[in-house]
Amino acid sequence: MAPDSHTDPHAWLEDVEGDAALDWVRAHNERAVSTLETERFAQLREEILEVLDSTEKIPAVVQRGEHLYNFWTDAEHERGLWRRTTWESYRTTEPEWEVLLDVDALAAEEGVSWVWHGAQVLRPAYERALVALSRGGADADVTREFDLVTKTFVTDGFVREESKGALRWADTSGDVVYAYTDFGEGSMTPSGYPRTVRRWERGTALEDAPEVFAGEHTDMSIGAGHDFTPGFERDVVWRARAFYDSDTYLLGDDGLTRIDVPRSAEPDLHREWLTVELREDWETGGRVLPGGGLLAIRLKEFLAGSRDFTVLYEPTESTALVGATWTRHHLVLNVLDDVTNRLEVLTPTDGAWQRRPLDLTSAGTGWEAPQLATLAVGAVDADESDALWLTVTGFLTPTTLARLDLDEDARVVALEPLKALPAFFDTEGLHVEQHFAVSDDGTRVPYFQVSPTPVADNEVVRPLPTLLSGYGGFEIPRLPAYSATVGRAWLARGGAYVVANIRGGGEYGPRWHQAALKEKRHRAYEDFAAVARDLVARGVTDPAHLGAQGGSNGGLLMGNMITGYPELFGAVVCQVPLLDMLRYSHLLAGASWMAEYGDPDDPEQWEFIRTFSAYHRFDPADEHPPVLFTTSTRDDRVHPGHARKMMALMAEAGKDVTYYENIEGGHGGAATNAQAAFMQALAHEFLWQRLGA
């Protein structure tokens, strides 16, 4: 039976690295491998790994000074190389890379399974960096100071021991950092993130560094950083009480000055400008400013008391803002209209903001955006130029990267293709459609479908093995993207692939997210079920051939499909999931998500939380689809106990349930390409076995 609020016979599986729990994990891993490691599995793993290790991948770069920096993994560099090149070289077919740090060599030398977590290069000299490394892919990591001239770690340099948190450069001298990390008892929040931040000078002990700010013990996290923009240098402290509830402060000689905007809003600083993205309506300055909108005002005027904001973007029923990117002179908005991108350029002038569509054909390239694809832009160097990175990707459109240059009038003066993925799978006979399902309350829910082109009814065998994916949380939209692994493992073998844009996500901005918060969570699950039914009603598939897959919050979604809508699916893959919603806020980072799900320790809130706690909804008397649970021992964000306990509960009831737990990997589930290929092949082999081709 499912546990009630007073007892949990599987609680012992929450002991992450306990001997008994790991023995249980190993036994289930062996059973999973014995049934899923088939000849097809080996082919799937090989095909996926070939993509992940391909030297034809786009080397994503960021510009720091004269160099473009990249982190790269392939077959020879499993844990990766941090490297850099020049613009001149990057524009060639085979760039010449200067290797800065070989993470594989470091891992071998130190006997630690290091996973790259990024680096902050110090401006303006670009001679030092703060490098973050994780043991096994966990969120907790270490920071070490690195010399970009000698390409070695700095002897007696800044070092932060393993913890969630970070070091950030605090000025241009390179002799001061902001440190937010585990300083001992009382310094971490219930979510497991730092509660205090200190200003640490070189040559002093970290424990002696003066405290800059301390949040409340009930907060989620805090942090600090320095804005290096020439002429606009400033220090910023941020405090997150919870998701969608935070404060941002300017740190000056007189102490902290709060940027006085709604706590649910997201302020951003660029040169003399303050922009504010609202999640809710805000009554200020004698008017009501729209939730989901973007506002702008000069920071100096705002701090002097003015609230004369300019509304740069206001949402409609079909649109949402998903990005706002500053260049030197412009602000580029990325707007979704029924989950399709359009780009606009706004330019501040003396008296107003000029607005024009970003016309990608105006440079005379003849380039046109593909249909039902995703466009994304990012500044190359917002302090120095009006150049943008332009990324284009779609389900059947291999990702391309270009450089886009604007003039001061926001016209495109150059569109330079830089890199493109090869076609990793054959798309002939495949096409992409967008459809809308109708949820229980009448809401239209969009979804994308990738499937064989219906040339004639007798040329496409129906029902198709169909994989339905979704997330529906934290205001994160699911957009079209080229996935060579899904293409090879699923589409090229005759399956249809579907992405559901359910409530809880960000496809229609804050309102779409807020429609599925806390006591309204059921709407996300009703939306996903509505898409499943629509696929059957349209004749694409039937329940026996329909599979569902999701991870993290999407794993909670899968748990609710298993327990609430089992008749709709022939198989479910549930990855790094949340499932026990009575215990979630007491496990690892779980307390940080109570703004999303609610507080299970409050009896009134538990009454609605239990309606989507899959661990408590499970009824052994019900029929359930076959399920594969996967997770990671090193996941220190979503506790592996969720998947372990649900597996135990369902196995105890004699259900068709399979379990695999990767030892490394953190919340991503895998620490290396080989591990990722193995885990993805397991999932697809499971789906092909249960759904049939």
Give the model confidence (pLDDT) of 336-388 as tens digits: 999 999 999 999 998 799 999 998 876 665 667 788 999 999 999 999 999 99
* Backbone torsions φ then ψ of 26, nearest 5 degrees: -60, -40
Fill in the DSSP letter of residue 358.
Answer: -
Mean pLDDT of 496-503: 98
Cβ atoms within 10 Å of 371's Cβ, excluding its own = 11
Q: Which conformational region is residue 550 in: left (phi greater than 0), alpha (psi within -120 to 50 degrees), or beta?
A: beta
463 preceded by a cis bond (ω within 30 of 0): yes
Output the pLDDT for position 458: 47
Find residue 227's DSSP bridge partners: 234
Say yes or no to pLDDT of 456 above 80. Answer: no
261 falls within a domain: no
End-to-end CA distance of the chain: give it in Å, rounded.
Answer: 35
Q: Which of 10-24, 401-415, 445-459 has the lowest mean pLDDT?
A: 445-459
CA-to-CA distance for 626 and 465, rounded, in angstroms? 15
Longest dimension (CA), the chain: 76
CA-to-CA distance for 627 and 570, rounded, in angstroms? 9
186 falls within a domain: no
The answer to whether residues 478 and 465 belong to one domain is: yes
The answer to whether residues 418 and 431 belong to one domain is: no
522 falls within a domain: yes
Fill in the DSSP letter of residue 584.
Answer: G
75 falls within a domain: yes
Find residue 279's DSSP bridge partners: none
Average pLDDT, the chain: 95
CA-to-CA distance for 92 and 234, rounded, in angstroms? 38
The answer to whether residues 385 and 459 belong to one domain is: no
The answer to whether residues 33 and 133 belong to one domain is: no
The answer to whether residues 412 and 450 belong to one domain is: no
Q: How do residues 471-485 score in pLDDT, each as one tens digit? A: 999 999 999 999 999
Output the pLDDT for position 365: 59
**Residue 546 tokens, joined:** 């329909």
Residue at a domain's end among 139, 163, 187: 163
Q: Which residues contact 304 (CB under 8 A, 6 or more apart)?
A: none
333 falls within a domain: yes
The answer to whether residues 668 and 532 belong to one domain is: yes
Give the active site residues.
Answer: 552, 667
Continuous segment of H or E residues that includes residue 405:
strand 397-406
CA-to-CA distance for 135 and 114, rounded, in angstroms? 5
Whether 85 contacts 96, CB under 8 Å: yes
CB-facing half-sphere around the CA of 536: CA atoms within 13 A: 15
The answer to whether residues 446 and 361 belong to one domain is: no
CA-to-CA distance for 547 and 569, rounded, in angstroms? 6
The answer to whether residues 388 and 430 belong to one domain is: no
On whether the pTM is more than 0.85, the answer is yes
The answer to whether residues 430 and 411 belong to one domain is: no
449 falls within a domain: yes
CA-to-CA distance for 512 and 341, rounded, in angstroms? 17
Output the pLDDT for position 7: 83
CA angle 59, 62, 66 (to 5 degrees): 110
Say yes or no to pLDDT of 664 above 70. Answer: yes
Mean pLDDT of 98-117: 97
- Domain of residue 79: give its range: 66-163
179 falls within a domain: no
* Secondary-structure percent of the chain, ordered helix, strand, coil, rounded to 5: 25, 35, 40
Find residue 461's DSSP bridge partners: none
* Residue corresponding to tokens 């701090």: 303
Output the pLDDT for position 42: 97
The answer to whether residues 482 and 348 belong to one domain is: no
Fill in the DSSP letter of residue 94.
Answer: S
Per the structure, how many domains does the chain have?
Answer: 3
The answer to whether residues 360 and 480 belong to one domain is: no
* Backbone torsions φ then ψ of 126, nearest 5 degrees: 60, 40
124 preceded by a cis bond (ω within 30 of 0): yes
CA angle 118, 120, 123 (to 5 degrees): 160
